[in-house]
Amino acid sequence: MTQAAVLNNVAHRDLRIVTTRGAAWGDDVMSSVVFPSEFRDLQAHCPIVFQKTAEGTGFQPIALLGLQEGQNLFLGPRGWDAHVLPLAIERQPFMIGRDGDERMVHVDLAHPRVVRDPQSSVGEPVFLPHGGHTEFLERITSLLAAIDDGVQATPPFVQALLQHELLESFVLDVELVDGSARRLAGLYTINEERLAALDGAALDALHRAGHLQPVFMALASMSNLRDLIDRMNQRLATGA
């Protein structure tokens, strides 16, 4: 259960955060919410697809990290096996809140990454001995700001995709080396034919709104489906 608190340098002066990547710290997730601003970095590593939001009235881009629930194929013996992490994963256990127009950093004190023992040297300190921000906290604050901006940027981006009918559903059926099968359904991707058929005015409007680059990045990322399947087959073959 989440135990969220507004971060402050008095109550949390000894707070440290484990930055090692692994299932023990909550990283064993099949997918992660992502935002258009990070598509360029992520597209070289994992497929970026779309799924309907919980209320079913919109769409949210996600990065596929595995082929079944509770599986992250980017976790290996040495931690995270890629050069980048989705912002929504890297920011854990921190969250962003608001007090009016002011952004406030919150921390989930119940998260497995949190270390509150003042005698411990495990993890990264959040505050300096005199109460100032560490470089680690400065990085987290920057991540949370990027996420907040991404939350604001996603709805108009998705609306532009829907306006031009660029989203299409797809089903991925995978037969693995051990003879088992996986099916991914309920996901959406960019319709390449419809994108290619857009006229100059539509493409210019997407470009001016900052939507065209993430569209192409999401489309390019789909080549990583093969890599995701290869990662799964390698695990099955080695018993890892």
Token pair 């005199």 is found at 130
pTM: 0.92
Q: Which two tokens stand for residue 50?
A: 């779309």
Give the CA distances from residue 58 to residues 10, 34, 50, in Å, rounded to whole numbers and listed in that order.
Answer: 41, 15, 10
Query: Among 185, 147, 162, 149, which Cα is nearest to 59's?
Result: 162
Chain segment 224-237, per-residue pLDDT in tens: 999 999 999 999 98
Give me the percent of the chain exceeding a pLDDT of 90: 85
Chain segment 121-175, per-residue pLDDT in tens: 899 999 999 999 999 999 999 999 999 999 999 999 999 999 999 999 999 999 9
Cα 76 to Cα 82: distance, rounded to the nearest angstrom: 10
Cα 182 to Cα 115: distance, rounded to the nearest angstrom: 38
Q: What is the pLDDT of residue 29?
A: 96
Q: Where are the domains of the chain?
A: 4-238
